[in-house]
Structure 1
Amino acid sequence: MSESQGDTSAVDAAELAAWQREDRAFTVLDVRDRDEFESWHVDAPEAVQIPHQQFIAARAKGTTDELVPDGPEPILVVCGVGEASAEVAEQLRDEDIDARNLAGGMEAWAREYEAVEVPFTDGTVLQYQRPSSGCLGYLLVSGDEAAVVDPLRAFADRYADDAADHGATVRYAVDTHVHADHVSGVRAVADATDAEIVLPEGVDERGIEFDPDRLLADGEELAVGDAGLETLALPGHTPEGVGFRIADGEHGDLLLAGDTLFLDAVARPDLAVEEGDVEAMARQLHGSLSELLDLPDETRIAPGHVATATSADDEGRYVATIGALRDRHDLLSRSESEFVEEVTGSLPERPSNDAQIIRINLGAEAVDDGTAFDLELGPNNCAAG
């Protein structure tokens, strides 16, 4: 029995993810140190940091009520592994506050990984969601074959199990680009399943130091059972970036867009090039987005990341049609010069440890699983605009 199952005052990571998808009102009270909170914390309508030591002192003085956050209840108390936060949550409940503890803390939050099904006529498409970072990945199953797109190394064993549940084996492990925010799982999946590693052909110009089994050029299709992944070159976030279109006459084609177009933002153009080349990449990004806007309105975009503020649909999926995104994104109607100016002028902080993560994903550096997991902890910073 998990901590959250045995204690109704505890919230596990899956329930927290549901709170976020449902846009539930709650307040996060993070009792870690300030630098830990500022580098990465659970997103919520209200999120405050008060260190555990202040609550220890307040208990002794009888002044806990002075530390109660002003935001909406319930108050979700968070720490690294769920122990200090459990003490604080109990202390707040003694003050008649609706306080819950995040079971397992940020460690458990980082390991939360969920799958929801996206409608697809000729098989099954699963959208994987890592709410702690906003990373999305996909599993396409058709017949007895499967392909995983943008897998995470931390969850490499998950994809084979899910494919097996649908009567298939993973034949391909595919990345849309060289990721800067998380450690790619393509090699780990290949090691676990004998799947072929498939990457966009431009990775050779990024300095890749291992040999993929297959490189895909613009327009090439990767057959998966009775379905296929049609490669669309989408440079702009990275020079080699691609998307994959899955034909579906009933529900509308599904485009796995990688990090090119998100549901509430667009890609940032600066993570794969030198500072002097960022504007040129932004112009390429504008061109790629223009090509996407020329697709039929019913084409469904399935992005590679999602922001916490983005609302899921009624089934918990992060998918929207080109037609809907065209109406939603003011940035998509900008001229090239306006687009470049706005995107390059609104760049957030870079993802945590991005340079080292890129080296790992290129095969230029090797780290163990624990180090890889720790390196990628942090917020989603792959979007601009």
Structure 2
Amino acid sequence: MVETITTGELRNKLDRDDDFTLFDTRDEESYNDWRINEAVNVEYSGSDDELVGDFDQYREELDEDDEIVTICATGRSAGMFAEYLEDEGFENVETVDGGMESWSLAYDVVPIATKNDDVVILQLQRRAKGCLGYLIGSKRAGKAALVDVTRATDVFLDAASEYGLDVVRVLDTHIHADHISRGRELADDLGVPYHLGQPAETRDPDVEFDGLEPNETVSVGPIDIKAVHTPGHTTGMTSYLVDDEALLTGDTLFVESIGRTELQFAGEDAKSGARVQYETLHHKILTMPDDVKVLPGHFSLTDDGEYIDVTPGLPMFGTVGDIRTGNEILNLDEEEFVEHMFDNLPSKPPNYETVIATNLGEYEPEDEDEESELELGPNRCAATEDSVVADD
């Protein structure tokens, strides 16, 4: 009988660079749209129990005792292909439980070093999609806030539990376009405040929230979290300054790029949105002290699963000083910046209009399967496909 492995076990195999072959049995179009970088495609029809792709080119390269792992969208066809491989005489075959849907929710929980020993910052890295969420906590008070919570609420809650922290606040940086937020629901479940920046009301959300005015501060025990209005990606985009040493920038500024603006600002407003972004970057974020850590809301990866200027499982951040000098877009003057924002933009996030409607409370997905379908694929919230960090 074919053994199953979890996405966590698959992650560990990839990180250790184990010697195994990963077969992705989805159709070629789905594979090309989004995949794990190490996977090779051999299509297998789960409905017809039929080998569709060309396995012969791999058969002669594999020994009977070589380790093989199979994956598909949900686990069904990959499991059947694994059984096929066993019937063909391969002795060491495993299949990924839940397939790419489960892989989409695989996380790394990474501590971020802080100057204040009381401050806990955990970066929750959704490695298959490039989403970053955060836990901000006080060891002495035993309290924490969660920022940009996704559907994987258990990951966020488990992180708080592991550090012995009670969640007392939940925050979102903005109305997300690439993934479904669980911030409001989690706050309700826990009976704690749910915050957005008050300027998010410009999006007319049909969701109740405790709005934070620009420069308003809330606390987690003795730790201050200051709302910094950073419009550009959206009108309501709000970053959070933690204890004056780390800025959670949402989709305004990334380690390797900056946030795109045309998902909300379109048509005649497109260039005005880019000017707002320029103003935010140069006159709010880049005026902060050089040693302030920039903790972004996303990192970039390609459709074929390659990570751009980051390594999952390691801290993903830059300092204001390093980003100011190293980010080539930030060294453009305003007019060049505005023009650059609309040259060679990446494709828009899949289903982004429906995802936005869901997070605004205007649309409710039918079930978990639809939520997974809406979120499949990497985020595309950056203004560039490639890194814009200058080579040393």
Q: Calculate the TM-score normalised by the size of structure 2.
A: 0.81
How far apart, in 2, do the equivalents of 1:97 and 1:260 lie?
A: 49
Kept after mapping to 1: 8 A contact 2:294/2:318 = yes
Distance 1:315 1:374, change over 3 A: closer
Distance 1:363 1:58, change over 3 A: closer
The structure with the greater share of residues assigned to helix is 1
Residue 49 (1) aligns with residue 41 (2):
yes
Residue 13 (1) aligns with residue 4 (2):
no
User: C-alpha root-mean-square deviation of aligned residues, in Å?
Assistant: 3.4
Q: What SS is found at the alignment partner of 2:341?
A: helix
Distance 1:21 1:211, change over 3 A: same
Name the counterpart of 1:296. 289
Name the counterpart of 1:383. 382
How far apart, in 2, do the equivalents of 1:157 and 1:99 lie?
A: 29
Residue 373 (1) aligns with residue 372 (2):
yes
The amino acid across from 1:255 in the alignment is L
Name the counterpart of 2:257. 265
The amino acid across from 1:384 in the alignment is A
How far apart, in 2, do the equivalents of 1:25 and 1:287 lie?
A: 49
How far apart, in 1, do the equivalents of 2:29 and 2:228 lie?
A: 41
Kept after mapping to 2: 8 A contact 1:234/1:242 = yes
Name the counterpart of 1:332. 330
Kept after mapping to 1: 8 A contact 2:44/2:52 = no
The amino acid across from 1:81 in the alignment is T
How far apart, in 2, do the equivalents of 1:69 and 1:243 lie?
A: 54
Distance 1:68 1:201, change over 3 A: farther
Distance 1:283 1:239, change over 3 A: same
Name the counterpart of 1:106. 100
Name the counterpart of 1:203. 200
Kept after mapping to 2: 8 A contact 1:21/1:312 = no
Mapping 1:74-113, distance limit 5 Å: 77-85=70-78, 88=81, 101-113=95-107
- Which ranges of structure 1 fall in alignment gaps of 5 or more residues? none
Distance 1:55 1:186, change over 3 A: closer
- 1:316 aligned to which of 309, 314, 317: 314
Kept after mapping to 2: 8 A contact 1:65/1:95 = no
Q: What SS is found at the alignment partner of 1:323?
A: helix
Name the counterpart of 2:171. 174
Q: CA deviation at 1:90?
A: 7.7
Kept after mapping to 2: 8 A contact 1:17/1:131 = no
Name the counterpart of 2:224. 228
Kept after mapping to 1: 8 A contact 2:133/2:297 = yes
Residue 219 (1) aligns with residue 215 (2):
yes
Name the counterpart of 1:281. 273
Kept after mapping to 2: 8 A contact 1:11/1:101 = yes
Could you tell me the percent identity over the aligned residues? 31
Name the counterpart of 1:66. 57
Q: CA deviation at 1:32?
A: 0.7
The amino acid across from 1:139 in the alignment is L
Q: Calculate the TM-score normalised by the size of structure 1.
A: 0.82
How far apart, in 1, do the equivalents of 2:134 and 2:324 lie?
A: 23
- Which ranges of structure 2 fall in alignment gaps of 5 or more residues? 302-306, 385-392
Name the counterpart of 1:33. 27
Q: CA deviation at 1:239?
A: 0.9
Query: 1:228-252 deviations in whole A, cap 9, x for unaligned?
Result: 111111111101101111126xxxx
How far apart, in 2, do the equivalents of 1:22 and 1:344 lie?
A: 39
Instruction: Count residues with an aligned counterpart.
Output: 366
The amino acid across from 1:228 in the alignment is D
